[in-house]
Amino acid sequence: MSIQWFPGHMNAARKEAAKTMEAIDVIVEVLDARIPEASCNPLIEELRLSRQRPCLKVLNKADLADSAVTKIWLDLYSQQAGISAVALSCRHAGDAARVPHLCQALAPHRNSRVKPLRMLIMGIPNVGKSTLMNTLLKRRVARVGDEPAVTKVQQRHKLNDHMAIIDSPGLLWGTIEDPHVGLLLATINAVGHTVVDDEAVAEFLATILLARYPGRLTTHYGIAVEGLTSVGVIDAIARKRGCLLARSDGGLDRDRAARILLSDYRNGTLGRTSLEVPETQPEARG
């Protein structure tokens, strides 16, 4: 199952980003710390390499991710040429304030009124690009939402006398061939909810939680997970939360239960969890 979700403005955004790349110094690629590799857009890497621009990878929403797993990702990215990486929460002013300074280290020759440091914020939808922009500027200049594709056009702002920052629309690649990557993106709501069925996404999420963080399901929902499948997890949540269909036989409303699980995961209610671990590393448990 491949996912095709490429709103018209994204194609325009790609062309605009390619043009803007000529006049910027550092790319700030915002990723979701829970799925850093899946939320890394290969189109951005392609544009970056073509213009030979350094990149700061910001693993945003680090407060929702497993800190031990995040450290592994940071170590991995730090070994790559032209790349620096940091884990933080863009909602926190102190965290966001680190970004310009880290970018400055990647382009030390741009640090004056004559030659200001020009930073371009990029990333897939719903990873926190606009939140980073708003936090850095200490005012709301970009719309923020929990749905993908909120930002539609580039926005350029002066950060101070020697720094400028540009926010760009969320950018996905045209066809997501790997179904695993597509489902990972769906768990963080990076693709439109009309593209992938909520039950399918919730069952996918439940499979990973059963393997890596079974205790979170037991603690939060009060369900015994031993022997359960992902389908069983959704059914158990439906029973615990009283998700019943409005009909005489009182069947389970699995769609509603699926949305409860997805919402609890996305807002961090289930605790700090990472859904993606480098292949060479052991999986987390908890």
The residue from 167, 189, 220 where one domain ends is 167
- Counting the structural domains of the chain, the total is 2
Supply the range of the domain harboring residue 235: 197-266
Answer yes or no: do 136 and 36 share one domain: yes
Q: Is residue 173 part of a domain?
A: no
pLDDT in tens, 170-212: 777 667 888 899 999 999 998 866 678 999 999 999 999 999 9
- Please answer whether residues 169 and 149 qualify as being in contact, where contact means their C-beta atoms are separated by less than 8 angstroms: yes
Q: Is residue 231 part of a domain?
A: yes
Q: What is the CATH number for 204?
A: 1.10.1580.10
Provide the whole-model pTM. Answer: 0.87
Residue type, 48: R
Q: Is residue 183 part of a domain?
A: no
Q: Write b or e for each residue in 15-38: b if 16 or more Cβ atoms lie within 10 A of its Cβ, otherwise e.
A: ebbeebbeebbbbbbbbbbbbbeb
Q: Is residue 66 part of a domain?
A: yes
Residue 149: which pLDDT band, with cuts at 50, 70 and 90?
Answer: very low
Task: DSSP letter for 282, please.
Answer: P
pLDDT for residue 105: 95
Answer yes or no: do 32 and 139 share one domain: yes
Answer yes or no: do 119 and 225 share one domain: no
Q: What is the CATH number for 156?
A: 3.40.50.300
Q: Is residue 192 part of a domain?
A: no
Q: Is residue 280 part of a domain?
A: no
Answer yes or no: do 141 and 35 share one domain: yes
